Chains A and B, each alone.
Chain A
Amino acid sequence: MRNPIENLNKIFDSRIRLGVMSSLMVNESVSFNDLKQLLEVTDGNLASHLVNLEENGFIKVHKGFIGRKTNTTYSITKAGEKAFKEHVEALENMIKGVK
């Protein structure tokens, strides 16, 4: 029998990383500050999770400026979309499997 947990992505264990991915799934791009407000986390905490997701190739970073202030926005990559969908599917299968 297949282990249902094997498809769960370790990277999405963190609620913050999962939250980032969820909001990037439904938005073309979201800025750092908007993510911070949405997830109610501190700058440092969010930044480290974003670096992690970026290193895994799940999100893309766009650095821009509004006036003189930096405006960093994030969007999801094809790989990130795929990984996220598989993760959700695995979660669904776990629920179905027990029934």
Chain B
Amino acid sequence: MQETDQSLQTLQDIKRMMERSSRFISLSGWSGISAGTCALIAAWVTSKRIDCWRIGDCLFPQLSGGGAADLKRDLFIIGGITFIAASVTAFIFTFVRSKKNGTPIWNLMVRRLMWSVMIPLLAGGCLLYRMIQLEQFELVAPGCLIIYGLALLNGSKYTLGEIRYLAIGQLILGIINLWMIGYGLHFWALGFGVLHIMYGIWMWFKYER
């Protein structure tokens, strides 16, 4: 009987070791919640800036008409600040969690995770940048969601597998958005805001509570 217990223990050790050495498991649910909150705040600020609720249409005529340069600059600033704020807060929560778990933050798995997410994100970023230069604004919002979804999907191999569902959610929203041009901001808020928060709460419930 004792031998069986020992074998079972050993098998569990092997499984744990395989997981520990192939996935970064300290991603915190709070990171998702904080990133999502940043996105929702940004969506609100943006909607104020472009005043889309009053005008009705959310953006595209304004981006090529008069005052377009100012608007574009403001949107870039909002976008940049959001990206930095979301990344920094997400990093902090995950850093705290990995300290608690005793896993080093910058190891083999993190490096792999970073690369697998960053490469599609950077390539996609170039694509979006060119689209903006060529004034193809309609496809930028769905493009963001689809590129982010693909990047997450690529990264899901190296971290908690559930992130795949977040990725698929982003992809679905992005694809629907392709046929609902003009509602980009709504889809942004849903994808980057609501989905992140839902995912974060789910992960927190499952792993951290």
Q: Which residues of A contact B (CB under 8 A)?
A: 5, 15, 18-19, 22-23, 25-27, 30-31, 34, 37-38, 88, 91-92, 94-95, 98
Which residues from A are CB-within-8-Å of B4? 94-95, 98
Give the distance in Å from the alpha carbon of A92 to the alpha carbon of B10 in the complex.
10
From known contacts A30-B108, A37-B107, infer whether A91 and B17 are also in contact, taking CB-CB under 8 Å.
no
Contact in complex: B13, A19 (CB < 8 Å): yes
The 3 closest A-B pairs by CB, nearest first: A23-B21, A22-B17, A91-B7
Given contacts A37-B107, A98-B4, A26 and B18 within 8 Å (CB-CB)? yes
7 A–B contacts, CB within 8 A, in A order: A19-B17, A22-B13, A23-B17, A27-B108, A37-B104, A38-B17, A94-B3
B99 at the interface (CB under 8 A from A): no
A-B contact count (CB 8 A): 54
Q: Which residues of B contact A (CB under 8 A)?
A: 1, 3-4, 7-8, 10-11, 13-14, 17-18, 20-22, 104, 107-108
Give Cα A5 to B17, complex, Å: 23
* Bound CA span A94–B6, Å: 10
Q: A30-B108, A95-B8 are in contact. Are A15 and B21 (CB under 8 A)?
A: no
A23 to B22, CA, bound (A): 7
Bound-state CA distance A15–B108 (Å) is 21
**A63 to B121 alpha-carbon distance, docked (Å):** 33
* Separation of A99 and B90 alpha carbons in the complex (Å): 47
Give Cα A92 to B20, complex, Å: 21
Cβ-closest chain A residue relative to B104? A37
Instruction: Report yes or no: B13 in contact with A18, Cβ–Cβ below 8 A.
Output: yes
CA distance A5 to B2 in the complex (A): 13
Q: Known A30-B108, A37-B107; judge A22-B11 contact (CB<8 A).
A: no
- Of residues B4, B21, B104, which shows the largest number of chain A Cβ atoms within 10 Å of its Cβ? B21
In the complex, given contacts A22-B14, A26-B22, A92-B11, what are 5 additional A-B residue pairs having Cβ atoms less than 8 angstroms apart? A18-B13, A22-B18, A23-B17, A23-B22, A95-B4
